Amino acid sequence: MKLTPTRAAFVGLLLLVGVIQAQSQSVIRGRVLDASTNKPLPFATVYINASMLGTTADGDGQYQLTGLPTRTVEVVASSVGFKTLRHTLRIGNEPVYRLSFALVPDVNALQTVTVTAKRTGAYDRMVRQFKRELLGDTPFADKCLITNLKSVSLTVSDGQLRASATEPLVIENKALGYRLYYDLTYFDTYRRATHYAGTSRFEGLTSENAEQAERWDRNRQKAYQGSVRHLLTTLIAGTHEQEGFLVYKATFNAPANPDIPIAQMANALPTNPVRSDSLVTPATLPSERRLFSAKPLEVFYTRQRAISSPYKAMPYPYSLVYMPTGKAAIVTTDGWIVQPNGLEVRGAMSNDRLATLLPADWQPAGQSDKQPLPRPAEGTVLPPDSLINAVVTRWADGQQNATPSVFLHLDKGLYATGDRLWFSGYVLNPATYQPTVPGETELEPALHVELVAPNGRLLHQWARVREGRASGSFRLSDSLATGTYRLRAYSGADANQARPAFERTITVVSGIRVRAEPKPTDVLASVYSVDVQFLPEGGHWVVGLLSRLGIKAVDKQGRGIAGTGRVLTASGVDVARFVLNRFGMGSVELTPQPNERYKAELLTTAGQTIHSLPVPDSTGLVLAVDAVTDSTQLRIHVRAS
């Protein structure tokens, strides 16, 4: 089993196989002996692997473990100067189990001589690499301290780093609130692959105050979310999609060489979603399941964003789960791997190392209250509230990190070199679409406005924001060339976004001055064209379906113009009428008929003009949205031809 920094196989954690839930009163009793003398070994440590359940043998080597669950556990016995011994025990309905250990003296440990010398820079780099590979590359790793690092021996040969320890590593995890005793049995890393294994025992740290205890609880939840344990728990329960996982059966086979990037294997978007009941089958014990897939599983965790996904259309943490040995893994119903049987994980979830390791007897908040949703029978429809609530929840989550919405209005639609481009901007709260107010955000009170020429030349200006409004201008130099320019605007919160909050194009003509704006007294006398747009709601105007057309009319200066109008057929029949407000905005509802063409007759202060309506589609869908009595709700209508 292999483990790499970014596309690693999941090894060390898979070997931690003990699982505890205090649901049973089964007891394990036994004795720890010295195998060389067959005499009792006093004060040896006996514990359930990867749990907080452990004890110390008495002076006669006797021990007792209580509160065991009905499932497979791994019992570990260790003592300084002796080799650690493990025994897998399947706990059934028997109240008492007897298990004794005969520990063999560790000759290498007894002969170890500690030599203190000045540490070189090369050795320090080896230590940093060892800690990074063992603890993981996560923020929690920075909060972990190996208190007995001097017990670790590191060697390197031809780029391959190996490590061993004369005693269990003691790791204080200040992020999760645990002291972890990790008996390292194997560790080596070479190039992009790391192999490590061991047994673990947890002790809870004492919190300094209630705030620290709450922070530990939150961090434990974060460590669980999106982990292998989280995935397996939800796969067994059939709730993986509700918990944010998308699981697909891959069309390729995972290569044995971990140096090959996953991106080279994944050529097309996955299209074969996996049903959990096709992967999971019952095992011997009621609390265990068999997990098997002949093809690798591509896993996305949609509750987070990531740029390392091999699919640009699916920017989520990506992992590859596969079983190269062809054997099923044995997994408990709460997601702990009892027998990995070669199960490997590459990608995002392989970064779960010791810094994010949780005891097997830890349970996520509220897990006992969650019940798997029943699979609906064919032909039945789930209540709509579940989908609506999911949409509302995702929208609310998105608003927490949403950046302000930005809009710009310009004084014209066409500019000549030498003109001054005037703009008026709005900076709106993304949740309420109301102007931002002082103190509502920590963002800098400025709007960045940029004018980008076709050759990439950039003009930049800061406009001060007051109560959600900003204004300013650019002077268009006489040296500018004719072309299409891009006007962009964004706030300080958009600095790390892929594109600006607002962007539009404008046309600049070199050497031609746009006629000065007419005085109000000259408006009726001036003769100029009116630009009218007809915009179907939802984007499509379909024959035989009642649709709402938005209407926008502006003059050659880009200002809205008021007026009235009517819609006529090709034969001149009046079928609808509309009114445009002072901003040149209006709408009309109309059902287009087959083989019919429509035109609009518009009367404004500029006179009467005729405009053709777009040709309706023969088939398609139309969308209509109406506000209901409660202003926080919308009624959406979808009609099909």
Classify each residue of 80-94 as buried b or exposed e, where b means 16 or more C-beta atoms within 10 Å of its C-beta: eebbbbbeebebeee
521-640 matches 1-208 in CATH topology:
yes
Residues with Cβ within 8 Å of 419's Cβ and at least 6 positions away in sequence, in order, are 412, 475, 476, 513, 514
Task: Reply yes or no on whether the pLDDT at 424 is more than 80.
Answer: yes
Pairing of strands 405-410, 483-490: unpaired
**pLDDT of 450-484, one tens digit each?**
888 888 777 777 788 888 888 888 888 888 888 88
Q: Which residues pair with 423 in a beta bridge?
A: 410, 472
**CA dist., res. 359 & res. 204, Å (int):** 10
Give φ, ψ of 211 to 5 degrees.
Answer: -65, -40
Residue type for position 76: V
**Please, which pLDDT band fits residue 527 given cuts at 50, 70 and 90?**
very low
The answer to whether 630 touches 537, Cβ cutoff 8 Å, is no
**CA dist., res. 167 & res. 182, Å (int):** 9
| Residues shown for the chain | 641
**CA dist., res. 6 & res. 586, Å (int):** 55
Supply 392's token pair.
């509302």
Supply 412's token pair.
């014209």
**CA dist., res. 74 & res. 342, Å (int):** 18
Residue type for position 257: N
**Cα–chain-centroid distance for residue 636?**
29
Query: Could you tell me how many helices (H) and strands (E) the chain has, helices first?
Result: 5, 40
The answer to whether 622 touches 639, Cβ cutoff 8 Å, is yes
Task: Reply yes or no on whether the pLDDT at 407 is more than 70.
Answer: yes
The secondary structure element, H or E, covering residue 215 is helix 210-224
The answer to whether 587 touches 547, Cβ cutoff 8 Å, is no
**pLDDT of 226-252, one tens digit each?**
999 999 999 999 999 999 999 999 888
**CA dist., res. 11 & res. 197, Å (int):** 7
- What was the pLDDT predicted at 522? 42
The answer to whether 590 touches 599, Cβ cutoff 8 Å, is no
Between vectors from CA 146 to CA 142 and to CA 150, what angle results, nearest 5°? 135
Alpha carbon separation from 53 to 69, 146, 332 (Å, rounded):
11, 21, 18
Percent pLDDT > 90 in the chain is: 38
CB atoms within 10 A of CB 50: 29
Q: For the domain covering 521-640, report its CATH number.
A: 2.60.40.1940
Tell me which of 631 and 411 has the higher pLDDT.
411
**CA dist., res. 288 & res. 435, Å (int):** 56
The answer to whether 217 touches 365, Cβ cutoff 8 Å, is yes
Give φ, ψ of 493 to 5 degrees.
Answer: -70, -15
> Taking residues 312-340, what's their average pLDDT?
87
Instruction: Mark out the alpha helices in 359-470 (DSSP H runs).
Output: 384-400
**CA dist., res. 351 & res. 429, Å (int):** 37
- What was the pLDDT predicted at 9? 39
**pLDDT of 479-521, one tens digit each?**
888 888 989 888 877 665 666 788 888 989 986 544 544 444 4
Secondary structure E strands in 134-192: 144-146, 152-157, 160-165, 169-173, 178-190
Residue type for position 352: D
**CA dist., res. 471 & res. 77, Å (int):** 74
**pLDDT of 108-142, one tens digit each?**
765 544 444 456 788 889 999 999 999 998 889 99
DSSP 227: S
**CA dist., res. 533 & res. 591, Å (int):** 18
At the second CATH level, the architecture of 405-509 is: Sandwich (2.60)
What is the distance in angstroms between the CA of the first residue and the CA of the last residue of the chain? Answer: 57
Whole-number average pLDDT of the chain: 82
The secondary structure element, H or E, covering residue 254 is none
Supply 45's token pair.
């440590």
- What was the pLDDT predicted at 128? 92
Pairing of strands 585-590, 621-627: unpaired
Task: Reply yes or no on whether the pLDDT at 368 is more than 50.
Answer: no
* CATH fold for domain 1-208: Immunoglobulin-like (2.60.40)
The answer to whether 72 touches 90, Cβ cutoff 8 Å, is yes
Supply 254's token pair.
């995972």
Task: Reply yes or no on whether the pLDDT at 2 is more than 60.
Answer: no
Give residue limits of the domains in the chain.
1-208, 228-351, 405-509, 521-640
**Please, which pLDDT band fits residue 266 given cuts at 50, 70 and 90?**
low
Candidates 56, 72, 89, 96; CA nearest to 21 is 72
pTM of the model as a whole: 0.54
Candidates 633, 569, 623; CA nearest to 598 is 569
**Cα–chain-centroid distance for residue 172?**
28
Task: Report, in angstroms and rounded to the nearest whole number, the Rg of the chain calculated over CA atoms.
Answer: 35
